[in-house]
A and B are shown apart, each in its own frame.
Chain A
Amino acid sequence: MFSSFMLNTWIVASMVAVIAGIVGFFVVLRGATFAAHALPLGTFPGAAAASLLGLNPVWGLVVFAGVGVLGISELGRRQRHDVATALTLITLLGLGTLFLSLSSQYSQSVYALLFGEVLGVSRADILPVAVAGGIAAAVILLGFRPLLLSAASPELGAARGVAPRVIELVFLGAVGLATAVALPVVGALLVFSLMVGPAAAARALTARPVLAMAASVVIALGTVWSAIALSFETNWPVGFFVGGLGAGSYALSKTGAAFLNKASRGRTQKTFP
Chain B
Amino acid sequence: MFAAAGFFSSAPVQTALVIAGGAAVVSGAVGVFTIIRGSTFAGHALADVSSAGGAAAFLFGLSPLLGFLGMAAVAAGAMGMAGERRAAERDLLTGIVLGAGLGVTALFLYFDVTSRSTTGAAISVMFGSMFAIPPGMAPLAVSIGAAALVVIGLIYRPLLLSSLDPGLARVRGVPVRLVGGLYLLVLAFAVTLSAMTIGAILSTALLIGPAAAALRLSRRPDFAILLAMAIGIFACFCGIWLAYDSYDWTPGHGWPVSFFIVTIIFVIYLLSGLAR
Contact B106 A33 (CB under 8 A): no
- Please tell me if A174 contacts chain B, counting CB pairs below 8 Å: no
Contact A115 B100 (CB under 8 A): no
Chain B residues in the interface with A (C-beta under 8 A) = 35, 38, 40-41, 43-45, 86-89, 91-92, 94-107, 109-110, 113, 119-120, 122-123, 126-127, 201, 204-205, 208-209, 212, 253, 255-256, 258-259, 261-263, 265-266, 269, 273
- Please tell me if A196 contacts chain B, counting CB pairs below 8 Å: yes
Chain A residues in the interface with B (C-beta under 8 A) = 28, 30-31, 33-34, 36-37, 78-80, 82-83, 85-87, 89-91, 93-95, 97-98, 100-101, 104, 107-108, 110-111, 114-115, 189, 192-193, 196-197, 200, 236-237, 239-244, 246-247, 250
**Could you say which residues of chain B place their CB within 8 Å of the CB of A110?**
122-123, 126
Contact B204 A101 (CB under 8 A): no
Chain A residue with minimal CB distance to B106?
A: A239
Contact A83 B106 (CB under 8 A): no
* Minimum C-beta distance from A87 to chain B (A): 6
Chain B residue with minimal CB distance to A111?
A: B122
Determine which of B86, B103, B113, B205 lies in contact with A90 in the assembled complex, contact meaning CB atoms within 8 Å. Answer: B205
The complex places the Cα of A91 from the Cα of B208 at a distance, in Å, of 12
A/B interface sample: 10 pairs, CB < 8 A: A91-B263, A91-B266, A93-B201, A94-B258, A110-B122, A115-B110, A115-B122, A192-B102, A196-B95, A243-B102
Contact A85 B259 (CB under 8 A): no
Chain A residue with minimal CB distance to B207?
A: A86
**Could you say which residues of chain B place their CB within 8 Å of the CB of A197?**
96, 99
Contact B204 A90 (CB under 8 A): yes
Chain A residue with minimal CB distance to B102?
A: A189
The complex places the Cα of A28 from the Cα of B91 at a distance, in Å, of 9
Contact B98 A94 (CB under 8 A): no
* Minimum C-beta distance from A16 to chain B (A): 15
Determine which of B87, B98, B201, B262 lies in contact with A31 in the assembled complex, contact meaning CB atoms within 8 Å. Answer: B87
Contact B99 A196 (CB under 8 A): yes
Contact B97 A89 (CB under 8 A): no
Q: Known: A110-B122, A196-B96. Is A237-B41 also a contact (CB below 8 A)?
A: no
13 other contacts beyond A31-B91, A90-B266, A246-B100, with CB at 8 A cut-off?
A: A33-B41, A33-B95, A34-B40, A34-B91, A89-B204, A90-B205, A93-B201, A94-B258, A189-B103, A189-B105, A196-B92, A196-B99, A246-B103
Contact A250 B256 (CB under 8 A): no
Contact B44 A89 (CB under 8 A): yes
Chain B residue with minimal CB distance to A196?
A: B95
Contact A31 B88 (CB under 8 A): yes
SS of A interface (majority):
helix
Contact A97 B122 (CB under 8 A): no
**Could you say which residues of chain A place their CB within 8 Å of the CB of B100?**
193, 243-244, 246-247
**Could you say which residues of chain A place their CB within 8 Å of the CB of B45?**
37
Contact A247 B127 (CB under 8 A): no
Contact A246 B99 (CB under 8 A): yes
Determine which of A98, A104, A108, A250 lies in contact with B96 in the assembled complex, contact meaning CB atoms within 8 Å. Answer: A250
The complex places the Cα of A250 from the Cα of B88 at a distance, in Å, of 16
Contact A31 B204 (CB under 8 A): no
The complex places the Cα of A37 from the Cα of B100 at a distance, in Å, of 13
Contact A193 B94 (CB under 8 A): no
| Minimum-distance CB pairs A-B, first 9 | A243-B103, A31-B88, A94-B262, A33-B95, A193-B99, A239-B106, A247-B100, A82-B40, A240-B107
The complex places the Cα of A108 from the Cα of B122 at a distance, in Å, of 9
**Could you say which residues of chain A place their CB within 8 Å of the CB of B205?**
90, 94
Determine which of B87, B208, B265 lies in contact with A83 in the assembled complex, contact meaning CB atoms within 8 Å. Answer: B208
* Minimum C-beta distance from A36 to chain B (A): 7
**Could you say which residues of chain B place their CB within 8 Å of the CB of A97?**
127, 201, 256, 258-259, 262
**Could you say which residues of chain B place their CB within 8 Å of the CB of A243?**
99-104, 106
**Could you say which residues of chain A place their CB within 8 Å of the CB of B265?**
90
The complex places the Cα of A196 from the Cα of B98 at a distance, in Å, of 10
**Could you say which residues of chain A place their CB within 8 Å of the CB of B35?**
80, 83
* Minimum C-beta distance from A268 to chain B (A): 26
**Could you say which residues of chain B place their CB within 8 Å of the CB of A30?**
88
* Minimum C-beta distance from B260 to chain A (A): 8
* Minimum C-beta distance from B270 to chain A (A): 9
Contact B40 A83 (CB under 8 A): yes
